[in-house]
Structure 1
Amino acid sequence: MRLSMYNRFSSLKLLSVADTRFASTIVMLKRFKFIKRSLETMVMSEEWASYRDDDQEKARFVRDKVLNEYWWDQVTYILNFTAPIYDMVRACDTDRPCLHLVYEMWDSMVEKVKVEIYKHEDKALDMFSSFYDVVHDILIARWTKSSTPLHCLAHYLNPRFYSEEWLNEDRARLPPHTDGDVSYGRQLCFRRLYPNDEDYDKVLYDYADFSLKSGPFSDVTSLSKRGTTDAKRWWANFGAKTPLLQALAFRVLGQPTSSSCCERNWSTYSFIHSLRRNKLTPKRAEDLVFIHNNLRLLSRNTDEYNEEKTMIWDVGGDDFGTMEDTGFLELASLSLDEPELERVFFTEDTTTN
């Protein structure tokens, strides 16, 4: 009865989000914000009065919350200060190469969280906030647990972070080679990747030229393009005279920053090597996983992927054999798995197309 009543007041469906879904609590709060007006209309309607007769205490509690502007202000506040965290994790939780952007995204995210909290508390940024102090400690603990020397190396090999354009955006910014902690992580990577002393000395020498903008990296064009050109393309254009460092840059700058793409491969493997197809050899199954995932990636770069007939054709992921096997709520929940699908609101018409 409650769900049917809600459906009469809102065309946007409620989602049943599992705890294992990405940021399920935040996603549900965002959905509540979208349907705020519909909920308010529902609890003020005559139909709600009939439901109230069935369970007065619960109906009163729901009505009080929905009509409580302070409660909605708290929801908005939670969404505002968690939005930078959510956006950063969203950006990292993809198969796109972004390992070299993590440090910048991290610093920017922490600053944005601070701004939102201090704005809500009506404090100047140089004042003390006990709540921000707690949030900051949690973020630092998470970063300490998750960061690796490879993040340091990727940050160091991004030419943008040495450009005047990037450094002048914020006076507090420094070029990576002047950061002692990050420099230590880079040194660890160099020593592990180049056990041969000759190669190690060579890559150190090349990196010194790169960071100091000297030698083969002193060209006016290469310097002017540091702040505007994609990192891999910059190395392709201007790194040929330092082949060791260029090859390393290609490897590191082309890597995603999380293991989510590997986990999706495991999901695809379980879809292909199922109870119905349990006689596949490991080699055949691996080949099919390779083809399946790469076809999906290639298709997302085509115009047809956003056209009506083939729009988001892989929305069902690998959990269902056909779209007919997918229930409405389950299909809608899948929109939480992909950043570009989060803004897609599935209706009953969508599932029957």
Structure 2
Amino acid sequence: MSVEGSQGSTGRYRPTNSNDPGWDYGQPVDGNRDHVKCDFCGHVSKGGIKRLKQHLVKASYKGTMYKDVRKCDKVPQDVVDVLRSFMEGKQKITEEKQSKKDEMIRNVNVYGNDDDEVEEVMIQIPKKRKGPMDAFVAPIDVDFRLRAPNSNENKKALENIHGYIADFFYENSISFNCARSDSYSKIMQAIVQYNDPSTFKPPSYNDLRVKILKKKKEETSNWVDNFKVHWETYGVTIMTDWWTDGKGRTLINFLVNCPKGTVFLKSIDGSAHIHDAKLIYKMLKDVIEEVGEKNVIQICTDNASNYVLAGEWIMAESKIYWMPCAAHCINLMLGDVSKMHLVDETVKDAKKISLFIYNHKHVLHLMRKQTKGREIVRPAVTRFATTFLCLHSMYEKRQKLRDMFHTVEWRNSKWPKHPIGKEIVKKVKSNTFWNNMHTCLKIMAPLVDVIRMVDTEEKPSMTYIYSAIEDCKLKVKTNLGDQNDDDRELWIKMERILDRRWSGMLQKPLHAAAHYLNPQYYYATLTSSDEMESNTKLKEGLLDCIAKLALDEEDESQILRDLIAYRTKAGRLGKRGAQACVKTIAPVEWWITFGSEVPALQRFAKRVLGLTSAASPCERIWSTFDNIHTKKRNCLEHDRMRDLAYIQYNRRLKMRYEERISGKEIDPIVLKSFDECAEWLVPDDARDDIVLGTDMTYGVLEDAEDGFDDPPLTRTSRTNTASHCSQEVASSSRSTTRHLQDSSDDDDYDVDANYDMGDGDDDGIDSGSDEDI
């Protein structure tokens, strides 16, 4: 341990702010405070100043001998008396602290039977060898390591435990969403099943911020290293996105994606320079250098002008592409669709129905009764995806909603005679309203399918985006049909929207190369390869991509020669096994398996087909940083915060990775939180409403709750902020929607060329009741 202290006028060393008299009779050896030399006999105590004092008080204290402590025979008695007096005072303070701690523990009586004698029946648990905490994590069983009281006592005990946990959340402003995390559940299960409760000791403040944090960072780095070994083989995408939290801080996240998975690299507070393209460019250059320029194929960001300009500078000086986030571009298409008169009017009417139901307790109860607890509102990652899911959910339940207005409960309420009630009933019973909603769904569903495809991490989306957009256009045209002038006019508008966004933002050389090299498409039919070869724009994109990404001129020439083998199915590429697998294995794996005879093209194909086309993982975990980044931190705290962000973000990514490889289905656009549904749940003037039984408005309550759940701006609201439009932040919904049940388990819709919404007779899990209101 290095010496940190000062030299007094006598030249003696004393630690800063220390009043320990032991330092008057000993000095550290060679600056090491753990080795202290006695002034009287010269003995060096190797246990610090505490061991020196034990040496000086003649190796005993209050009649107790100190083990393995050498006695000093030269120390004067008056020095012994001074040191013993000081040690007794310290011991008294320690005992008082322990007494207070013991009293606090005694007061934590989960059964609340301080005054009554209760027979304690201890459950016998066989001793087990202690090991990692994971060894104690298992489903909570009946061998609950507490007393076994009667059922009433058990109920009271559980209430008290819940109270202590709630106090911890409230006192420390912890988001209630934390109670949903797997790690929270593991904590509780591990504590309950720990073998020896008497020895259980929770981690201290310093344990959490130093020792354990360091260990967890090492574990996280080891997990990240598992992906780094694949970066050179497959190439990577650097994904970056910015978001603004509730305190006005703008944070920029950097992630690295390859076919094996996505990892978080770092986050930077960009509040001072988010709009400066030069500084964005510098940050990107630093990240490229950190990852390795030879490994980076593309940078994927949103379409903000500062990112576009910085990306163009990167492309001009390197072999790296800048690509706009496909999910963001398609969401803009949905935004354009939402502005169409038919869609806009239908959505307004649907919102009126939703707002009426969710803001009147009796009506909400009737709706849930009719739908068996299923909600008609479903949250998604963006405002426009939310619009689609809500319309779809409402359309599915249209017959249930109609039936609701024929029930005795409805007829006996005040609403059948109320103007608002009459208007809502008229809407719900209108065939025109539901037909218009059906049309909206037919033109929006194919776009939402594409968002789902590019947002998922199950497979690299670059190889499918080109075909997905073409299929989307075909589906929309087929869904609308060609029955009348209105349908034809609607298709013309849709085609214009899709082509403008696709050709202007998404149709890039990488998309063309990935489409061309995907054997699922190239060998799909006898004529598909000829069709691709005659597609001038596609071939130009492919050749441009080869010229940019080839290692050198020789490598470029070899790739072009290898393309002949690909086109003519030469060698292994044309073998029966290779052709039989084009539709059954992933394109990257196909090239790895069958492309060894054309190594230059094989390498190029692996690095193109393994790319993602969206920066979605950046946006999924914005809230991770809400309580990490602060404006003012000293250098040490900055390092610790970076470590904490690194651990948290990668833990979330690891959880998604494990869910994916386990085969669990994840809908990338569906959220569990209802924050993105505010406009479907809460009227615009809801902040001014009075909370029942108080003199507070919902606006005041919402502001107070911000300390617990301060949501970051979402993909929608960031876009609106950037364009100086009104923010669509769903904060005002919290006070009203916190009891809504998650309905993300609804059956996924199924869209084909002949879009059919079904009859709405869906059964589901009970997710709401009158008590939830």
Sequence identity percentage: 23
**After superposition, where does 1:197-236 map in structure 2 within 5 Å?**
197-214=553-570, 217-236=573-592
Question: Is 1:140 matched up with 2:499?
Answer: yes
Structure with bigger strand share is: 2
Question: Is 1:273 matched up with 2:634?
Answer: no
Shift of 1:141: 1.0
Inter-partner Cα distance in structure 2 for 1:315 and 1:129: 35
Inter-partner Cα distance in structure 2 for 1:70 and 1:133: 22
**After superposition, where does 1:165-180 map in structure 2 within 5 Å?**
166-167=524-525, 174-180=530-536
Secondary structure of the corresponding residue to residue 332 of structure 1: coil
Shift of 1:29: 0.9
**Structure of higher CA gyration radius:** 2
Shift of 1:136: 0.7
Question: Is 1:65 matched up with 2:439?
Answer: no
- Structure 1 residues 295 and 67: alpha-carbon distance in aligned structure 2, compared to 1, 3 A threshold: closer
Inter-partner Cα distance in structure 2 for 1:216 and 1:33: 51
User: Any conservation in 1 of the 2:377–2:394 contact (CA below 8 Å)?
Assistant: no
Secondary structure of the corresponding residue to residue 481 of structure 2: helix
Match of residue 99 from structure 1:
462
**Structure 1 counterpart of 2:611, from 255, 259, 263:** 255
Shift of 1:256: 2.2
Shift of 1:217: 3.2
Inter-partner Cα distance in structure 2 for 1:339 and 1:77: 15
- Structure 1 residues 19 and 297: alpha-carbon distance in aligned structure 2, compared to 1, 3 A threshold: closer
Give deviations 1:157-216, integer Å, cap 9, x for gaps: 1112222xx225xx7885433311011111221111126211111111122321232356
**After superposition, where does 1:108-147 map in structure 2 within 5 Å?**
108-118=471-481, 121=483, 129-144=488-503, 145-147=505-507
**Structure 2 counterpart of 1:282, from 624, 637, 642:** 642
User: Any conservation in 2 of the 1:94–1:261 contact (CA below 8 Å)?
Assistant: no
- Structure 1 residues 289 and 260: alpha-carbon distance in aligned structure 2, compared to 1, 3 A threshold: same
Aligned residues: 323
Shift of 1:316: 5.5
Inter-partner Cα distance in structure 2 for 1:272 and 1:95: 27
Inter-partner Cα distance in structure 2 for 1:17 and 1:218: 47
User: Any conservation in 1 of the 2:392–2:441 contact (CA below 8 Å)?
Assistant: yes
- Structure 1 residues 339 and 237: alpha-carbon distance in aligned structure 2, compared to 1, 3 A threshold: farther
User: Any conservation in 1 of the 2:529–2:567 contact (CA below 8 Å)?
Assistant: no
Amino acid at match of 1:244: A
Structure with bigger helix share is: 1
Inter-partner Cα distance in structure 2 for 1:147 and 1:346: 45
Question: Is 1:3 matched up with 2:358?
Answer: no
Inter-partner Cα distance in structure 1 for 2:551 and 2:603: 16
Question: Is 1:161 matched up with 2:521?
Answer: yes
Give deviations 1:315-337, integer Å, cap 9, x for gaps: 769x999xxxx9343x627779x
Which stretches in structure 2 are left out of the alignment for 5+ residues?
1-359, 676-707, 710-736, 751-761
User: Any conservation in 1 of the 2:381–2:671 contact (CA below 8 Å)?
Assistant: no
RMSD: 3.8
Amino acid at match of 1:113: V
Shift of 1:88: 2.0
Shift of 1:35: 2.1
Inter-partner Cα distance in structure 2 for 1:230 and 1:135: 32
User: Any conservation in 1 of the 2:378–2:386 contact (CA below 8 Å)?
Assistant: no
User: Any conservation in 2 of the 1:216–1:241 contact (CA below 8 Å)?
Assistant: yes
Question: Is 1:293 matched up with 2:653?
Answer: yes
Q: Which runs of 4+ in 1 moved over 6 A?
A: 333-336, 343-346
Secondary structure of the corresponding residue to residue 235 of structure 1: helix
Shift of 1:50: 5.0
Which stretches in structure 1 are left out of the alignment for 5+ residues?
307-313
Inter-partner Cα distance in structure 1 for 2:402 and 2:413: 15
Please report the TM-score for the alignment, with normalisation by the length of structure 2.
0.37
- Structure 1 residues 14 and 117: alpha-carbon distance in aligned structure 2, compared to 1, 3 A threshold: closer
**After superposition, where does 1:273-352 map in structure 2 within 5 Å?**
273=628, 279=637, 280-302=640-662, 327-329=738-740, 332=742, 347-348=767-768
